[in-house]
Amino acid sequence: MFAIVEIAGLQYKVEQNQKLFVNRLKVEKGDKVSFDKVLLTVNGTVTVGAPAVSGIAVEAEILDHVQADKVIVFKKKRRKGYAKKNGHRQQLTQIQIVSIAGAEAPKAKKAAKKEATEEVAEPAKKPAAKKAAKKETEE
């Protein structure tokens, strides 16, 4: 089971107990956060949101705030004596997906629907059983 969720403006494919790095979030280390903008879920069946799936949220725990590796930006123009070197380190937050809450709801709906159809089918069987019992007693 997995879900596609939007976290800090970017979309990620997440599964339970998965660790990933996202853009820096303004929460403390050790806190739990919930992301409710779930765009797609796959739990036996595919559920696509328009634009988001309602009733489903992704729960995550903040593990750490870190910096990514340095990216060197080097600009140069030939024969002009122009060269510029710059670096950048992106601020990241490491999170671990705790659960995808509300994902069991479609299964529960299907089970309830199945039980309702079974209840409707059972009363139809009882009169037939009574007729068969009457025929046996007549003979």
Let me know whether 50 and 6 are in one domain: yes
What pLDDT sits at residue 3? Answer: 93
Let me know whether 135 and 94 are in one domain: no
- Say how far apart CA 98 and CA 114 lie, in whole Å: 30
What pLDDT sits at residue 120? Answer: 54
Give the total number of structural domains in the chain.
2
Let me know whether 92 and 116 are in one domain: no
Measured at the CA of 108, the angle between CA 104 and CA 112, to 5 degrees, comes to 175
Q: What is the mean pLDDT of the chain?
A: 84
What pLDDT sits at residue 130? Answer: 62
Let me know whether 114 and 99 are in one domain: no
Domain of residue 124: give its range: 104-139
Query: For 53-102, what is each residue's pLDDT tens digit?
Result: 888 999 999 999 999 999 999 999 999 999 999 999 999 999 999 999 88
What pLDDT sits at residue 121? Answer: 53
Let me know whether 97 and 112 are in one domain: no
Structure token digits, residue 99: 């659960």
Return the closest-CA partner of residue 20 out of 101, 90, 96: 96
Let me know whether 19 and 84 are in one domain: yes
What pLDDT sits at residue 105? Answer: 47
Let me know whether 57 and 125 are in one domain: no
Q: Has residue 48 got a pLDDT over 60?
A: yes
Let me know whether 89 and 28 are in one domain: yes
Let me know whether 64 and 116 are in one domain: no
Q: Report the pLDDT averaged over residues 120-138.
A: 60
Let me know whether 110 and 95 are in one domain: no
pTM over 0.85? The answer is no
Let me know whether 113 and 74 are in one domain: no
